[in-house]
Each structure stands twice: as structure tokens, then as C-alpha cells.
Amino acid sequence: MGTSGPETATHASGVAMSEVISEKSDSISMSAQTTGGTAANPRLIAQGDIDVAQSTDWAVARSNDGAEPYGEPVGKTMTQVLPFMTLEYYLVRRTDDRLSDIETVSDIPQDGSISMAFGQRGGTNFFAGLDGFRLSGIEDVQDKYDLQSMSWGDQGAQFADGRLDVMLVYGVSREVLTGWAQEAGAQTDVAVVEWEFSEEDMANSDLPYTYIETPADLWDSQDIRMDSIPAVGVGYQTVFPADVPEELGYEFVSTVMNDIDAVREASSVLQRAGPEFAQEFLLPSPNAPVHPGAERYYKEQDLWKDGLTTLDEYEG
């Protein structure tokens, strides 16, 4: 199982799932392997470097469709198997007087006077930021704004000391705000810059995201002035290529679900994993089919929902 960098939540989830699967399953032995990241994993699967992966529904849809950053379909069909975590992306600004009129994304001047960052270019985070603007009716973001690329730690530090005006941040599974964002918030006051799209707008788009409202009180000692923050949600999940046999897909999902307490105890990242979470965050998308083994399990347990795409439908 390919994961991501060694210090990431994605790798921790892969280690935990691999240990539980190897212990509990009679037919699957699994180990976690670090990779260059969740976006890279579909191509690594297609190349035969890894068998399955912890990745995102975003990567499933884009790697099948050949959208950025892949450029063309990766060569094997990727399928959704088991959601286990979400990241919820939204924008915050400093509360300096010169920024006080910025309440929504359309209020951000397009003359290069406002410095902004979405983390490093090329990852899910960067495209989530671009697509948040697109859903809000603003195209060509990289041409219209002073959009910088940097690590999350550098981004938080530059925001805290005033060198960066607006930044993309994210919560995890509506429970935790990342440490670098909390650290920045401990050094300067922040205000949310609201996206300008609705849940219906996102559902009606062809973009592989979920509309999620994340609690505003995840910001310690900040007066955010709203109860929840609309966010561009990206679902993290186990991804199989379509050529993994149905029985192994079924065995994987049923083993995790039947021993969900052991899975949750294995890593704090997996605290929300389980049947209800899977049902909520399987992505309805024509470009993100569900693996046949997972499909069988979800239908047996009455967890299948309208809008999901089967592999047969996708290939047809």
C-alpha cells in the first residue's frame, strides 16, 4: 500500500490499516510504503510500483479523466474503496486595516496588491484552492493574483509575521485544525474569507469535491464570528486499481468494517472511519467508480447511495 511522506496522516493511516488487515484477514497481507504523495499514487499503481494506495477521491477522478496534474489517463482505472478522512480547505486573511473590506473571495483585489498562498503548487491543496475560486465564479486565478508557492510551515510563518495576506488552510475530518495553522493563529488574528458557492453549486459542478462545513471553533482564541465555515472538501480513501479481484476488494472492506474498533485504535487519523463515514464521503462522480468488491459490501449493508458510479457503468 502506497501512502505519502513518512510524517503524514496518510502514511499513519496506511500503517494502521496494513497492520489490522494483515492480522485479521486470511487472504490479504499488506505493508505500507512511503511515496511522493497521494496525487502521485495513481500513477505509481499504473506503473506497478505499488499495488494499492491511500489517496483521494480527487486523484481517482482526475487520474481516470486525465485532468491536471496527470495530463492523460494514467493507464489503469482507479476505483474508490474505503473513505477514512477528509480535508476541508478554506481561506483566511490577516485582520490588518487594509484588508478589512475583504469578506468574500470576490472582494480580493485582482491588481497583485494582496499576497496569497495555497501551499505548494501541484498538489491536491493547490487545485482545491484554484477550484474554490472557480466555483465562486472567478477563473484564471494564477493570472489575476499574487499567488505564491511554499510549504505549509513557511506559509504559516509568513502569514504570522505579515509577509502574507491571505492563505489556504484546512481542517481534518471536521475535528482538528492543522498545527501550523493553529500556530499562525496564536501569533496574529485571523478572519475567514468566504467562498461564494453553495452546496448545490458544488453538487452540480463536474469537480471532484464535497461541500463540507467545518466548525469555526477549531480556531483557539479566535473570534471567527460564524459557527461553521463552508469548505472545499477532499475525501481521503483507500484506492484500488480496477484489476484487483472483486473478492479481495470485498475482503478488504469487510475486514476493516468488521474490526473498525481495532482500526480506530491503531491511529488517531482513523477515528472517524466506519460505515457512516464511508456512506457520507464516497464521491458521486462519473469519473470515480467504486470497486466491485466495495460495491458489493456497501449494497449488502445498505450503505450504497444515489449518484455513485459502478465499474460496469464507468467502463460502459
The residue with greater pLDDT, 223 or 292, is: 292
- 204: Cβ–Cβ under 8 A, 6 or more apart, which residues? none
Specify whether 78 is located in the same domain as 98. no
- Residues listed for the chain: 316
Specify whether 200 is located in the same domain as 104. yes
264 within some domain: yes
Domain that holds residue 63: 9-84+236-315
The answer to whether 250 and 294 have CB atoms below 8 angstroms apart is: yes
Partners of 212 in the β-ladder: 231
Specify whether 166 is located in the same domain as 287. no
3 within some domain: no
Tens-digit pLDDT profile for residues 11-27:
989 999 999 999 999 99
Structural element, H or E, at residue 41: helix 41-47
Alpha helices in 148-228 (DSSP H): 152-160, 179-187, 199-204
Q: Is residue 174 predicted with pLDDT exceeding 80?
A: yes
219 within some domain: yes
Whole-number pLDDT of residue 268: 83
Structure confidence at residue 63 as a pLDDT band (50, 70, 90): very high
Query: Cell 459490501 appears where?
Result: 297
Q: Is residue 252 predicted with pLDDT exceeding 90?
A: yes
Specify whether 178 is located in the same domain as 41. no
- 216: Cβ–Cβ under 8 A, 6 or more apart, which residues? 192, 224, 225, 226, 227, 228, 229
Whole-number pLDDT of residue 101: 96
Report the CATH number that the domain containing residue 268 is assigned in CATH: 3.40.190.10
Specify whether 261 is located in the same domain as 205. no
Specify whether 102 is located in the same domain as 221. yes
Q: Is residue 232 predicted with pLDDT exceeding 80?
A: yes
1 within some domain: no
The β-bridge relationship of strands 146-148 and 115-117 is parallel
The pLDDT of 20-37, averaged and rounded, is 94
Specify whether 230 is located in the same domain as 240. no
Specify whether 158 is located in the same domain as 173. yes
Specify whether 230 is located in the same domain as 121. yes
C-alpha cell at 235: 475525501
The β-bridge relationship of strands 190-193 and 78-94 is antiparallel
Whole-number pLDDT of residue 259: 93
Answer with the one of 234, 257, 286 that is the final residue of a domain: 234
Is-cis flag, bond preceding 69, omega within 30? yes
Specify whether 163 is located in the same domain as 264. no
Answer with the one of 216, 234, 252 that is the final residue of a domain: 234
Per the structure, the count of domains in the chain is: 2
Whole-number pLDDT of residue 245: 97
**CA atoms of 123 and 133, how far apart (whole Å):** 16
C-alpha cell at 315: 467502463
Q: At what angle do helices 179-187 and 152-160 cross, to 10 degrees?
A: 10
The pLDDT of 123-129, averaged and rounded, is 90
Whole-number pLDDT of residue 138: 96
The pLDDT of 95-122, averaged and rounded, is 94
Q: Is residue 44 predicted with pLDDT exceeding 80?
A: yes
Q: Is residue 51 predicted with pLDDT exceeding 80?
A: yes
Whole-number pLDDT of residue 168: 97
The answer to whether 207 and 131 have CB atoms below 8 angstroms apart is: yes
Question: Residue 166: phi, psi to the nearest 5?
Answer: -135, 140
Query: How much of the chain exceeds pLDDT 90, in percent?
Result: 85
Give the pTM.
Answer: 0.88
Specify whether 64 is located in the same domain as 147. no
2 within some domain: no
Query: Cell 483566511 appears where?
Result: 92
Instruction: Give the CA-trace dihedral at 296, 301, 307, 313, to 10 degrees.
Output: 10
Q: Is residue 72 predicted with pLDDT exceeding 80?
A: yes
Burial of 87 by CB count in 10 Å (0-12 exposed, 13-18 middle, 19+ buried)? Answer: buried
Answer with the one of 203, 234, 265 that is the final residue of a domain: 234
Specify whether 230 is located in the same domain as 91. yes
The pLDDT of 234-252, averaged and rounded, is 97
